[in-house]
Amino acid sequence: MTFEDALAELEKIVARLEQGQAPLEESIEIFRRGQALKARCDELLRRAEARVETIAVGADGAPAATRPLDPE
């Protein structure tokens, strides 16, 4: 599942729960689904963040190398 798909479904779940129209058992089930979707979004964001690189520019202004965005 893509980040966008997971986020869209999660937004629908939040809206449904905020309406307060679902019976208790259904609310619990869709809440659990929401937790799983949130975890998926978090994982995908962590992966994307790990791949993000910044381009180091040399003295001549040309790209010289890449390095992690937030090195530790």
User: How many Cβ atoms sit within 10 Å of the Cβ of residue 8?
Assistant: 12
Copy the structure tokens of residue 2: 């893509």
For the entire predicted model, the pTM comes to 0.69
Give residue-wise pLDDT tens across range 26-56.
Answer: 999 999 999 999 999 999 998 887 776 555 6
Range of the domain at 50: 3-68
- The label of the residue with tokens 């937030």 reads 70
- Determine phi and psi for 54, rounding to 5 degrees: -105, 150
User: What is the total count of domains within the chain?
Assistant: 1
Compute the distance between CA of residue 19 and CA of residue 21 in angstroms, rounded to an integer.
5
Among left, alpha and beta (phi > 0; psi -120 to 50; other), residue 4 is: alpha
